[in-house]
Amino acid sequence: MPTGFGWDFKTQYKEYFYEHNDYREWDFQAAVYDKVNDRIARITLNRPDKRNAFNDCMYEDIGAALHKANDDPEVRVVIIRGAGKHFGAGHDLSSPEGEESPPVHPSVNPTLQDYYGFERRRCYKYDDARDYPKITIAQVHGKCIGASQIFAASCDIIIAAEDAQFGIRGFGSQLHGLTEYPLWPLWSNKAYAGHAVTEMSGKETVDCGFANKAVKLEELEKETLMWAETLSHLPSEAVAVTNEWISGMLDIMGMGGAQRAHYHAHTGLQYVRFRPEEVNMYKDKRDKGLKGFLEDRAKTATATSHAKK
């Protein structure tokens, strides 16, 4: 329902985000949908020159692909992977004007209400991926940063390359922790580490229960397909019910509240005032371009990073 504020009101009884997209006429641009065989569908995030960073188009393509796989009664398991060298680098920091994926371009000049709309829509997408009624497996290699990590986390299973890099960067080092995704502490009883550790290898994420298995990069595809093939033998309706059961328990355990806290914090971040010595993405981007910002951020990140090399 349009609200007059530039965003749609979503009721509690919302559609899944992927059900908005009519895949039958869909022109896939940022993601590729294919079927490995009758029972296994695959979504390949396909902006390799941008390290598969998320923009609006990417979210919509993923939505259409998930819808397509869900409507295909043969499909039991959906694999999500990245084209090129990485799974994904998070949000596309170079997104052009008009995009609602963060960072929102200053020209959009959103009201607080608008911003809530953006945030809710985006967080619900992760919820919806989490609630997806078929088994999802994230096949992670290279970088899996920020939003990409959230998307991987929202899948049922993560198979990672041993040297994959999970982590979060934020818009500047002072925001580490704040932008960390609320799934971390719930995901693993051992990893409250999200707040302290900025980067982890695939191997470390398995040790803390965030991912299920880490293998050598050259074995990653084979391993993922083996999991998909095996899990595709489970009774399909029973899988849907079990998935709903697990997701429901997570909601009871506070996942819904954590999502809300996440997008509230994110909205709050829009109004952060930077001190003179701090890295300000918007200012840096304006004065020095995206590359200049990344260089500045890297300097501060090195100083505060706890990542094990």
Least distance between other proteins and beta carbon 252 (Å) = 4
Q: How far is the CB of 149 from other proteins (least distance, A)?
A: 13
For other proteins, the closer of residues 75 and 183 by Cβ is 183
Euclidean distance between CA atoms 162 and 204, whole angstroms:
8
Minimum separation from the CB atom of position 90 to other proteins (A): 20
Among 190, 283, 288, 291, binds other proteins (CB under 8 A): 190
Closest CA to 283 of 172, 163, 121: 172
CB of 206 to other proteins, least distance (A): 9
What residues between 194 and 253 interact with other proteins by CB under 8 A? 209-213, 226-227, 230-231, 233-239, 241-242, 244-246, 248-250, 252-253
Contact status: 256 vs other proteins (CB under 8 A)? no
Give the whole-angstrom CA distance, residue 54 versus residue 63: 13
Q: Is 4 helix (H, G, I), strand (E, B) or coil?
A: coil
CB atoms < 10 A from the CB of 67, how many?
21
Q: What is the DSSP string of 172-205?
A: SGGGTTTTS-THHHHH-SS--GGGT-SEEEHHHH
> Binding pattern to other proteins, positions 123-162, x when CB under 8 A?
------------x--------------------xxx----
Number of residues that bind other proteins (CB under 8 A): 37
Buried/exposed 182-220: b ≥16 CB within 10 Å, e otherwise: bbbbebbeebebbeebbbbbbebbbebebbbebbeeeeb
Positions 54 through 113 that interact with other proteins (CB under 8 A): none
**12, two tokens:** 């509690």
Nearest C-alpha neighbor of 211 from the set 178, 166, 148, 168: 166
Binding residues (CB under 8 A) for other proteins: these are 135, 156-158, 183, 186-190, 209-213, 226-227, 230-231, 233-239, 241-242, 244-246, 248-250, 252-254
